[in-house]
Structure 1
């Protein structure tokens, strides 16, 4: 049997209606009928019982359908796999994140992505703030969602995925903890705990952990931890204050830290970034999936 004959036979075996079969395959109804008659002459036995109101498989037709279906499914899988390989939609996609609120969204999108692209696997891992782009540059990750700004010549900045109001984490006993809001000028009255690391770009540090207020007052910097959990611990111990996004509070809330909103600071923004030289179909498809699933820009409350 030729491929088009198999397609016509199996479609009619499912539809049991010549007109619906012809519409499904985009063929003239007479072409469908001729193909079935040709097969029946070749086999020397009817495959369908036909009346003006009824179409049904004969016993031979049922057996042929049952024998052909697995072969057709295997053929279609082979074709789909070859097309996926041609599009680069196979293999492992490694996705990084720097915050638990982002991880939750990535895990949800990854499940849908796997169903859409069964020949792709998705691995999600946390990226430490002290080396924000190291895993991308070393090839450990293909794409990640990270805090903006990102201005690196070898990295492509993708779409924004989260915009969250900026807050100040302060010790529970700090004077700021009793206030409804704080301002950027208030940082001159506190010690700022800033994430440190030789790989952290200076422009990124200046944006999130300024050394001067907008009015020009100096901002004292205290301990320089390398991990986010250390920042929380140091704030809780009263060693200083540190900015964060409001969406992070439900993941990292603790009794010794109070989250006070800024009344004049820009939001903290998160977006996709990937190595320009490593852009591929898998990366583009994952980013598109994130956006089409409604995981667009959002604002914390």
Structure 2
């Protein structure tokens, strides 16, 4: 029995429908029927009971399916392993992230990637808030999913994975928390918790100095860590812009996350070094996009 005939038999045993089996394998229904009849002649027994409305496995068919499945999966895995090695997709891919939801997505994508490319492992690391690109430049990671903008000559911008409503982290009993939303003009006179380390263009995009009407937004304490920023907010030292997803991933009883209704969205995108777009990186990006496309919106 040829490998293609085994594939046809196992697919029909799963679908129990000749047309669906043909569509799934991109062959004609006649090809499926011919393969099954050939197998039945060789074996000397019917594998399926067929009527105009129903296809079911016979007892012989059930036994053959059970005996073939494990071996067929092993063959598929061996072919995938050889193909991966032949295309150079082996070794370790190191992926960085900056927020909990980005990390969760990368973990899911890594599971899919390892199944498809068993010669590759994926290692995941959280990027420090204050050093956006150091790990990429040092070769400690191969690509990352972090807040945009990224405007660096030696780093490539990839796809935007998340585009979220911007929100404001405020103390739970802050007047803005009682209102349930805020606009950029509300930031006038309210200190913003700031971050030490990122490029100025990144800070300007996330921590504005003035409202749209030109009123000053004062600076609050500076930090290099996100959890420390949230603790400063909870202590009443200032407020901090973030994604609306923070309400789910960084919930605390002493904090509230309220939408900034007139602020531009906050985007999270992929980045990698200019000379770092390997076939492994390309394959992982494709996998990540597939997994992200199947996620439910926040």
Q: Give CA deviations for 1:108-158 in whole Å, capped at 9, x if unaligned.
A: 111011000000001111001100111111000001101011111111111
Per the alignment, residue 171 of structure 1 pairs with 171
Seen in structure 2, the aligned counterparts of structure 1 residues 54 and 256 have a Cα distance that, compared at 3 Å, is closer
1: CA distance between counterparts of 2:128 and 2:292? 27
Q: Give CA deviations for 1:26-70 in whole Å, capped at 9, x if unaligned.
A: xxxxxxxxxxxxxxxxxxxxxxxxx9x74259xxxxxxxxxxxx9
Per the alignment, residue 118 of structure 1 pairs with 118
1: CA distance between counterparts of 2:6 and 2:108? 38
- Structure 1 portions without partners, runs of 5+: 1-6, 17-23, 25-50, 58-69
2:234 equivalent to 1:236: yes
Per the alignment, residue 206 of structure 2 pairs with 208
Per the alignment, residue 263 of structure 1 pairs with 261
1: CA distance between counterparts of 2:216 and 2:255? 24
Instruction: State the Cα RMSD in Å.
Output: 3.1
Per the alignment, residue 223 of structure 1 pairs with 221
SS class of match (1:104) = helix
Kept after mapping to 2: 8 A contact 1:163/1:298: no
Range 284-293 or range 227-236, more displaced? 284-293
2: CA distance between counterparts of 1:276 and 1:117? 24
Per the alignment, residue 146 of structure 2 pairs with 146
Between the two proteins, the alignment pairs up a number of residues equal to 245
2: CA distance between counterparts of 1:267 and 1:115? 34
2: CA distance between counterparts of 1:221 and 1:211? 8
SS class of match (1:239) = coil
2:161 equivalent to 1:161: yes
Range 215-224 or range 113-122, more displaced? 215-224
> Which has the higher Rg, Structure 1 or Structure 2?
1
- Structure 2 portions without partners, runs of 5+: 10-24, 26-37, 45-70
Q: Following TM superposition, by how much is the alpha carbon of 1:286 offset from its aligned partner in structure 2, in angstroms?
A: 0.7
TM-score (norm 2): 0.74
Mapping 1:4-43, distance limit 5 Å? none
Seen in structure 2, the aligned counterparts of structure 1 residues 160 and 297 have a Cα distance that, compared at 3 Å, is farther
SS class of match (1:278) = coil
Per the alignment, residue 249 of structure 2 pairs with 251
2: CA distance between counterparts of 1:12 and 1:90? 31
Range 111-120 or range 87-96, more displaced? 87-96
Q: Give CA deviations for 1:190-246 in whole Å, capped at 9, x if unaligned.
A: 00001111xx11100000011122222111111101000000000000000001101
Q: Following TM superposition, by how much is the alpha carbon of 1:80 offset from its aligned partner in structure 2, in angstroms?
A: 5.3
Mapping 1:178-193, distance limit 5 Å? 178-193=178-193
